Chains A and B, each alone.
Chain A
């Protein structure tokens, strides 16, 4: 059991990260808010609880690996890296701008990024290779892959799921940000995937389903995944796209569109972000 103080700390970080995401988008006036806000809580549990890493040495061989298959959540990813100390928080202001290390979708220019992602359906395969390689060398490091639910529509994702089950990669943990929305609308309307948990189970994965906005559940899910032997684990995090900003919640329109500065101020006000976030 995680103590309450740690949970409170993680929740505070998650709040700061949400402010960072809106602030980053306000400066860039471009980017993806919806899927960044939905993945924030388990993303924080991942970076500040589950993962072994060192912001002073991004190449530390003993680190766990995180592959953000949903690379479009770059406002979240870079905010997590800033909060971790890989980059200066001020650098978030350069997101998506010419010459910035913080590209529209993350690449290796930015410290703390393991591999360039953004083309959906690719990340889990990369994570499978990492997990195989680490296991070959007898290393205890774990590999995490953060995926969108929509990218379960990619055939290559199922190839990766199949191979991880086949190779019994218990050092691999996928987190599915199940916010149920994709650009064209509800996932179930665009190309239905339910029952998703049964599908992953049928491919020989251990499945944990959680409320992806409940920090205690997020933390416990990562703990539980570490105990699973002989098969990989997927945490299906049931989330709300745009979580934390009422008018973005469950609205597909906010998948890949940054709010105008006034709307960003509204969002920051609703989140009760500190005054320093209003500098645009």
Chain B
């Protein structure tokens, strides 16, 4: 794969907030003492009157956002995904989602690539616990451009949205002109033998896997599915029907997350063999993102192995 410029999706989030705030004065941002690393500091410096630090007290922050939405604001709450989705989950459930309030949640430091901070700060469950909530939309953008489009879309949408960001720079692999339609998968590469369905910044690994598979004579379709909920059932059913096998890729527990959402769509439309790349029911640990991707089985090489395995299952059933 050719080296492309790398930017963390959290940086794109910080940039997007500053840009969007200029167009819509209803946008306000709430932070919980992590404004630097969530990149909301950029907004806070530009719009100090529209930024509120709530200190290390996430539950209150979430419901204060709910209150702000009820008086016409578009609040973005940001902290690490573990704390925003985890600590304040019941506030999100019972206040924001039950009343279908216009609260936007930015979960930073999603996934194992958080690295040296270790398991406590690596959110591996947030997508699962957000997507289970009625009225909630869950988006995990793959790179810089997709993040900016997702944040802009979320500002226009009226209702709760969870957007997950990564800490580490990742190659910018999508283009500014690529469509971003909430709930719709983007076809990155067409193929007939198998489908790789990716969610989030692991897209670079999935793209590399497609190239490696090509060399082995395997034609893989690559779908990038930024929206976990609502999941694009149509694209998934079509992929299942036309390629007969699916491997999902996510930087999250395989239980309950993106892979599960795809599986739910597959079994209700066109059941085919599946394999799941993601965290296999373990906590994370300290290390470099590269070491952790290797240890937890998230690299292109692991995707290729999963494809080979799912193809065996496909050939057995066909």
Alpha-carbon distance between A136 and B66 when the two chains are bound, in angstroms: 15
Interface bits B57-68 vs A (CB < 8 Å: 1, else 0): 101111111111
Asked if A129 meets B67 with Cβ closer than 8 Å, knowing A159-B57, A162-B55, the reply is yes
How far apart are the CA atoms of A117 and B96 in the complex, in Å? Answer: 11
A127 touches B67 (CB 8 A): yes
Q: Are B63 and A160 in contact (CB under 8 A)?
A: yes
Chain A's nearest CB lies how many Å from the CB of B68? 4
Q: How many residues of B contact A (CB 8 A)?
A: 31
Contacts of B68 in A (CB 8 A): 129-130, 132-133
Would A132 and B57 count as touching, CB distance under 8 A? no
Q: Does B1 contact A (CB under 8 A)?
A: no
Tell me the chain A residues, 25-71 only, with Cβ under 8 Å from chain B: 65, 67
B286 at the interface (CB under 8 A from A): no
Main secondary structure of the interface of A (DSSP, over half): helix
How many angstroms from the CA of A116 to the CA of B135 in the assembled complex?
Answer: 14
Q: Could you tell me if B99 and A116 are in contact, using CB atoms closer than 8 angstroms?
A: yes
B94 adjacent to chain A (CB < 8 Å): yes
Q: Quick check: is B264 within 8 A (CB to CB) of the other chain? A: no
Q: How far is the CB of B289 from chain A (nearest CB, A)?
A: 33
Contact A134–B59 (Cβ < 8 Å):
no
Question: Which of these, A108, A132, A137, A159, contacts B67 with CB under 8 Å?
Answer: A132
Q: Is B54 an interface residue (CB 8 A)?
A: yes
Q: Is the CB of A132 within 8 A of B94?
A: no
Q: Closest approach, in angstroms, between the C-beta of A264 and any C-beta of chain B?
A: 30
B40-61 with Cβ < 8 A to chain A: 49-50, 52, 54-55, 57, 59-61
Q: DSSP majority for the B interface?
A: helix
> B50: which A residues are within 8 A, CB to CB?
136
CB neighbours (8 Å) of B54 from chain A are 159, 163
Find the A residue at minimum CB distance from B98: A116
- Is there a chain B Cβ closer than 8 Å to A114's Cβ? yes
CB-based contact B67/A131 at 8 Å = yes
User: For the complex, is A118 an interface residue (Cβ under 8 Å from B)?
Assistant: yes
* Inter-chain contact A156/B66, CB cutoff 8 Å: no
Q: Is the CB of A125 within 8 A of B55?
A: no
- In Å, the complex CA distance between A3 and B66 comes to 38
Interface contact B94-A116, CB-CB below 8 Å: yes
Q: Are B60 and A132 in contact (CB under 8 A)?
A: no
Known: A118-B94, A156-B91. A132 touches B64 (CB 8 A): yes
Chain B residues closer than 8 Å to A117, beta-carbon distance: 95
Chain B residues, Cβ within 8 Å of A155: 59
Given contacts A116-B99, A127-B67, A132-B52, contact A163 B72 (CB under 8 A): no
Q: Mark A139-170, 1 if CB is under 8 A from B, else 0.
A: 00000000000000001100110110011000
For residue A119, CB closer than 8 A to chain B, the reply is yes
**Which residues does chain B contribute within 8 Å of A197, judged by CB atoms?**
none
With an 8 Å Cβ cutoff, the count of chain A residues facing the other chain is 32
B31: interface (CB < 8 Å): no
Bound-complex Cα distance A151 to B38 (A): 32
Tell me the complex Cα distance, A121–B55, Å. 18
A122 on interface, CB distance cutoff 8 Å: yes
> Which residues of B have CB within 8 Å of A131?
67
What A residues does B63 contact at CB under 8 A? 122, 125-126, 128-129, 156, 160
Contact B71 A119 (CB under 8 A): no
Chain A residue at minimal CB-CB distance from B88: A156
Does A94 make an interface contact (CB < 8 A)? no
B65-A129 in contact (CB<8A): yes
Considering the complex, which residues of chain A in the window 168-221 have a beta carbon less than 8 Å from any beta carbon of chain B?
Answer: none
How far is it, in angstroms, between the C-alpha of A163 and the C-alpha of B90 when the chains are bound?
A: 19
Q: Give Cα A83–Cα B59 distance, bound, in whole angstroms.
A: 34
Chain B CB within 8 A of A269 CB:
no
Smallest CB gap from B95: residue in A: A122
Interface assignment of A115: CB less than 8 Å from any CB of chain B: yes
B49 close to A122 (CB less than 8 A): no
Q: For the complex formed, measure the closest distance between the CB of B30 and the CB atoms of chain A, giving whole angstroms.
A: 9
Task: For the complex, give the distance between the alpha carbons of A167 and B64 in Å.
Answer: 12
A107 interfacial by beta-carbon distance below 8 Å:
yes
Please give, as numbers and ranges, the residues of chain B lying within 8 Å of A167 by CB-CB distance.
Answer: 52
Are A115 and B70 neighbours in the complex by a CB distance under 8 Å?
A: yes
For window 10-53 of B, CB contacts with A under 8 Å fall at 28, 49-50, 52
Given contacts A125-B60, A129-B66, contact A163 B94 (CB under 8 A): no
With A108-B99, A132-B52 already in contact, the answer to whether A125 and B71 are too (CB < 8 A) is no
Given contacts A126-B67, A137-B71, contact A115 B59 (CB under 8 A): no
Q: Shortest Cβ distance from B195 into chain A, in angstroms?
A: 40
Taking CB atoms, residues of chain A closer than 8 Å to B65 are 129
Query: B: which residues have CB within 8 A of A?
Result: 28, 49-50, 52, 54-55, 57, 59-73, 75, 90-91, 94-95, 98-101
Would you list 17 pairs from A and B whose C-beta atoms are within 8 A, ordered by A residue?
Answer: A65-B71, A107-B99, A117-B95, A121-B59, A125-B61, A126-B70, A128-B60, A129-B68, A131-B67, A133-B68, A133-B70, A136-B50, A156-B63, A159-B57, A160-B64, A162-B57, A163-B64
Binding site for B on A (CB under 8 A): 65, 67, 107-108, 114-119, 121-122, 125-134, 136-137, 155-156, 159-160, 162-163, 166-167
Instruction: Known pairs A115-B66, A133-B73; list 12 more (Cβ under 8 Å).
Output: A115-B70, A118-B94, A121-B59, A122-B63, A125-B64, A126-B67, A129-B65, A132-B67, A133-B67, A136-B50, A163-B64, A167-B52
> Closest 3 interchain pairs by CB?
A129-B67, A125-B63, A159-B60
